[in-house]
Structures are given as C-alpha cells and as structure tokens.
Amino acid sequence: MEQRKEIAKRRTFGIISHPDAGKTTLTEKLLLFGGAIQSAGAVKNNKIKKTATSDFMEIEKQRGISVATSVLAFNYGDHIVNILDTPGHKDFAEDTYRTLTAVDSVILVIDCVKGVEEQTRKLMQVCRLRNTPVIIFINKMDRDGKDPYDLLDELEEELKISVRPLSWPINMGKKFKGVYLLHNDSLNLFEANKTKLSKEVVKVDDINDSSLDEMIGEQDAEKLREDVELINGVYEPLDREMYKEGLLAPVFFGSAINNFGVKELLDTFVEIAPEPQPRQTDKRPVDPFESKFTGFVFKIHANLDPNHRDRIAFLRVCSGTFERNTFYNHTRLGKKLRFNNPYNFLAQSKSVIDEAFPGDVIGLYDTGNFKIGDTLTEGEELQYKGIPSFSPEIFKEVINKDPMKSKQLEKGIEQLTDEGVAQLYRQEPGNRKYIGAVGELQFEVIKYRLEHEYNASVDLVPMSFHKACWMTGDEAKIDEFCKYRAQEIVLDKDGNRVYLAQTAFTLQMARQNNPDITFHETSEFKVGSDQ
C-alpha cells in the first residue's frame, strides 16, 4: 500500500526547448515556487554573478547555456516533483533524447517572439515516438511577440498536436497586464519582479462584472471577454485522456524571468500530469507497481563535484523499491552490485537516501561499471529499451600535446565519452583515437573539461567522415568487408566494429555491394528497438 501511495505522489518530467527560450530560467522558478531555493538570479545577465541553479558546470556558467542534463527534485504540496532540465543546444540533442526516455511527461517552453523553432520540432518528434504528454509554456510575454492566436495555430501546424489554452494573456510587451486563468476563472495581474513570487491572483466570479473594467481598464476587459468567449467556442474543454496520450497539449502564457504564470503552470501540472508509467524491456513491459525493483541508467556524469573527481550514474527507478545497501543484478555484466550512498539531487547539492520509488531519479557512485542504457534488477534478466547512440556528424582525431600526461588523457577521454556527449572510436593497430559528435560545441566542452578536470591538453584534428555505421549480418562477409576497408574500420567502446563512411555516396555503394551486411546508423540494434 505504501508503494502505491508513493508512486501516486511522483511527477517526473523533462523541460525542453530551443536554446534561449527560457527553459533553465523556468526550471529555476519552479524550484522557487517549490521552496527548494529561496531566491533566483537572472540567468544570462552578466551583471549578476549568480548563475542558474541547474547550470553548475564551469563552462555552462561561462557560456550561459546548459550543456548537460541536470536532475532536480523537490516537494510541492502532496507531490514529489522530479525535474530533468535538458540542454537546449542542438549539439547536445542526444543527451536530451536519452533524458526523454527517463520521464513520464514534458513541459515545452516556447519563446513568444520567435515561436516554434527548429530544435522545438525535433524535440517534439522524440516526444511523439513515445506518446509523451506535453504541456506548453509560452514564455516572455513581457516582450512584444507574435499574436497569441497565431502562436496557437503555429503550434498545431508545426508540432502536429492539438492545443487547449488554460490561461490567456491580457496584451503583451510593455502593455502586458497579466493572464486570465480559463480553467478556474481567476485573474493574475502582472508585476515585473525577478526575485519574488507573484501572489496576486484575483478570483473573478463573473467575467462580465464591472470590477474587471476597474482592474484592467474598460477596453482590455472588453477584449478579454471576447477572447474568452472565442476560445471556449473554438477549443474543446481539456480532455485529460487525450493529454495523457500525447494528443492534446494544454497551453499557458507567462514570463518565467518575472516569476509570472509559473505557479499556475505548476499547480495544473501536478494535478493532471501522469504518475510513473510502465516501460518496455527486451522481454516484456514492466509496471511500476510490481514489487521487485528495476531501473536503468540514462546519464553518466564525471566530476559532478570537481573537488572529489567523482563519477555518478543517474538511474531512473521503474518498478519496486530501490533500497540502500542492497545487492542488485547488473544485467549486462551479470554481476551483483551494492550501493552504500545513493543520492537524490537538487542540482549540485545532494543528500543520501535510504530508498527510492518508481519515478525517482537517483545518483549512484560508479567506479566504471556503468554505461548509458544499463539495467539493474532484483534478479530478472531483462534490459530496458530505447536508449540508443546515434551516428555522429563530425569526427576529429585526438592528438595528445603532452606525452607525459597520457594516463590522464586516457582516463579523461574514457570518462567523458562514457557520459554520452560524444563517441570514442579506436583504430587498431596503432591505437589512434577518434571522437565523433553531433556539433562543434561538444568538442569545445570536451577540450575544456580535459584541460580543467584531467590536466590533459589535446588538439582535435578534423577528419573527413560522413557517418559511423554499426554492422550486423553474415560474419564472414563483415570480416571480408573490414579487411578491404581497414582504414575506415574502428572499434567503439564496446568493441563493436564500426564503418566510418567517407561520403553519403560511399555508404550507399557499401550498402548496394554488400547485401548480406546491414549498416546501422544508431546502436539501438544491439538491444532491440521499441521505436
């Protein structure tokens, strides 16, 4: 019975957006309303030295962007909220995609000035793969942006999802006066304030009452009445089942940097968002209410605390109860592991826990046992699905600038690529090392972290490869192919042979000329796919 109550309390979600839409700012304000932090600093304001709570890596503070997923937990009323704040930058999309396997719903942040952007579309496609429920927060209403009706049309057209506004803005930019809450007929009046919580919510018993004219002015009151009548006529009432199936997105308007519209979003989220959901493995679906513990690692982070050179594996609990000091089965390695100090996180601060329930994300100290996608169970041999590596788009060779630091470089490259921000390939014989990544920023981060966390200095020299492909099929044919393409064959971290195709044409020809070999552009084939 206790387990059922604990599961019902939990809401585990990711915050996603295009860069600069205000995602990390919104995360911080949710923590503020949850009482997890006491004051907020303006993110990306160089005059304010305080950086966002969830951006704790040094390079994130310098660049003003998130380059790693942060895990944050707090209590809100009767609920336990687990937020996974993801990188918005497209170069770190793979980290975001993997993080979305560990959540039950998402909040998508849209900039009212820019509307739907390229990365927004890609992230929405990933949500659709798993029918992940989405709530949309249209941010920066204190700036002059697109017309709210145009934004709603754009969301439906570009993201291929039905929407239902649950709040409605009264003007925008300098004339922004607040939002009317359609789902409970109340008015939230806007006051620009970056550090305090807005508490002025006025209950409006009748939108036609003259008191509304006094609060926001006769002209704006009349326009609001027309808007509310139109919205209620055009849009169906919120259908919670359609939302939970990923077919309908509730929409809120606000200004995260001014703490405005955030509480309404959070209140509605904990009320309607799904509790922890069943998940697919290579053997069967696993229900969170099962008595035996299972979970999977979706992220690894080295040097979370630079003073202690630690390495943390982030595990999503999927079923049963995780208990401290208990032996669990690592299904890939086939060995038992015990964890003395499992943690939960508020960004960089962490506290030891004795137990964790489905929906929780916990940090496990790792001495090198874990890879992304690994599964822990109470004994059953199964593997969670849907956590692939994708073929990189940019390749560079690692050149060690200081042979005296070879050991530090080896350790640093191993640990950083274990985190999944990039992929490491080795060419035998000769032990040449190539790194493959989605974007240039990843290389910048790797180079910076190697120097500052591992005291290893490198040059990263561009290589002219088009795609990395894993190979399955007739082993004799693969052996023969690798023999003739030796200069383009490397080993990934798991010892799988990978073909580095020089161009799209050479890859096409390799496929045509080798019908007995399948060339995979993701590593998902190794554990099966649910996509």
pLDDT in tens, the chain (531 residues): 688 899 999 999 998 888 788 887 888 888 887 776 665 543 333 333 344 544 444 544 454 444 344 678 888 889 999 888 776 445 455 667 777 888 999 999 999 999 998 878 878 887 887 889 999 999 999 899 999 999 999 999 999 999 999 999 988 888 888 888 887 767 777 665 544 444 555 556 677 777 778 778 888 889 988 998 999 888 888 999 999 999 999 999 998 888 788 888 999 999 999 999 999 898 999 999 999 999 999 888 765 555 555 678 889 999 999 999 999 999 999 999 999 988 876 544 567 889 999 999 998 988 878 888 899 999 899 988 766 666 788 899 999 988 888 898 888 888 788 777 788 999 987 789 999 887 777 788 788 888 888 888 899 999 999 999 999 999 999 999 999 999 999 998 888 899 999 999 999 999 999 999 999 887 665 433 333
Do 58 and 75 share a domain, yes or no?
yes
Domain end (from 331, 348, 377): 377
Counting beta carbons within 10 angstroms of the beta carbon of residue 250, is it exposed (0 to 12), middle (13 to 18) or buried (19 or more)?
buried
Q: DSSP letters of 192-251?
A: --SSSPP--EEE-S-TTSTHHHHHH-HHHHHHHHHHHHHHHHHSPPP-HHHHHTTSEEEE
Q: In this predicted structure, what is the pLDDT of residue 38?
A: 61
Do 262 and 287 share a domain, yes or no?
no
Please report how many Cα atoms fall inside a 13 Å half-sphere around the Cα of residue 466, on the Cβ side: 8
Q: Which of 240, 212, 214, 211 is nearest to 227 (CA)?
A: 212
Question: Pairing state of beta strands 517-520 and 335-338?
Answer: unpaired
Count of domains observed in the chain: 3
SS3 of 295-358: the string is: EEEEEEEECCCCCCCCEEEEEEEEECCEECCCEEEECCCCEEEECCCCEEEECCEEEECCEECC
Do 252 and 316 share a domain, yes or no?
no
Give the count of beta carbons closer than 10 Å to the beta carbon of residue 418.
Answer: 20
53 within 8 A of 15, measured Cβ to Cβ: no
Q: Which position has the token pair 């429920």?
A: 133
Name the token pair of 496.
């799988």
Do 238 and 293 share a domain, yes or no?
no
Q: Is residue 291 part of a domain?
A: yes
Which residue range(s) make up the domain with 221?
Answer: 2-272
Q: Is residue 110 part of a domain?
A: yes
SS3 of 52-120: the string is: CCCCCCHHHHHHCCCCCCEEEEEEECCEEEEEEECCCCHHHHHHHHHHHHHCCEEEEEEECCCECCHHH
Do 127 and 19 share a domain, yes or no?
yes
Backbone angles phi, psi at 325, to 5 degrees: 60, 25
Q: In this predicted structure, what is the pLDDT of residue 47?
A: 31
Distances (CA, A) of 5 to 241, 270, 277: 21, 15, 14
435 within 8 A of 417, measured Cβ to Cβ: yes
Do 165 and 48 share a domain, yes or no?
yes
**Cα torsion angle, 194, 196, 199, 200, sign:** negative
User: Residue type for 73, please?
Assistant: A
The CATH number given to whatever domain includes residue 96 is 3.40.50.300
Q: Which of 207, 211, 189 is nearest to 199 (CA)?
A: 189
Q: Is residue 41 part of a domain?
A: yes
Q: Which residues contact 88 (CB under 8 A, 6 or more apart)?
A: 16, 17, 18, 19, 20, 21, 23, 24, 65, 66, 96, 119
Do 21 and 149 share a domain, yes or no?
yes
H/E stretch holding 286: strand 285-286
Q: Which residues pair with 519 in a beta bridge?
A: 471
Q: Which residues pair with 375 in a beta bridge?
A: 296
Do 225 and 286 share a domain, yes or no?
no
Q: In this predicted structure, what is the pLDDT of residue 90?
A: 54
Q: Is residue 76 part of a domain?
A: yes
Distances (CA, A) of 175 to 144, 169, 259: 9, 11, 17
Q: How far apart are CA 390 and CA 84, in angstroms?
A: 21
151 within 8 A of 168, measured Cβ to Cβ: no
Do 365 and 513 share a domain, yes or no?
no
Q: Is residue 199 part of a domain?
A: yes
Q: Is residue 383 part of a domain?
A: no
Do 321 and 360 share a domain, yes or no?
yes
Q: In this predicted structure, what is the pLDDT of residue 130?
A: 80
H/E stretch holding 361: strand 361-365
Q: In this predicted structure, what is the pLDDT of residue 204?
A: 63
Compute CA 472 distance to the chain's CA centroid, rounded to the nearest angstrom: 30
At 429 the three-state DSSP class reads: coil
Torsion on CA atoms 169, 174, 175, 177, rounded to nearest 10 = 50
Do 403 and 266 share a domain, yes or no?
no
Domain end (from 245, 272, 299): 272
Rg (CA), the chain: 25
Question: Pairing state of beta strands 79-85 and 10-17?
Answer: parallel
The CATH number given to whatever domain includes residue 417 is 3.30.70.3280
- What single DSSP character describes residue 421? S
Domain end (from 217, 245, 272): 272
Q: Is residue 385 part of a domain?
A: no
Q: Is residue 156 part of a domain?
A: yes
Do 342 and 488 share a domain, yes or no?
no
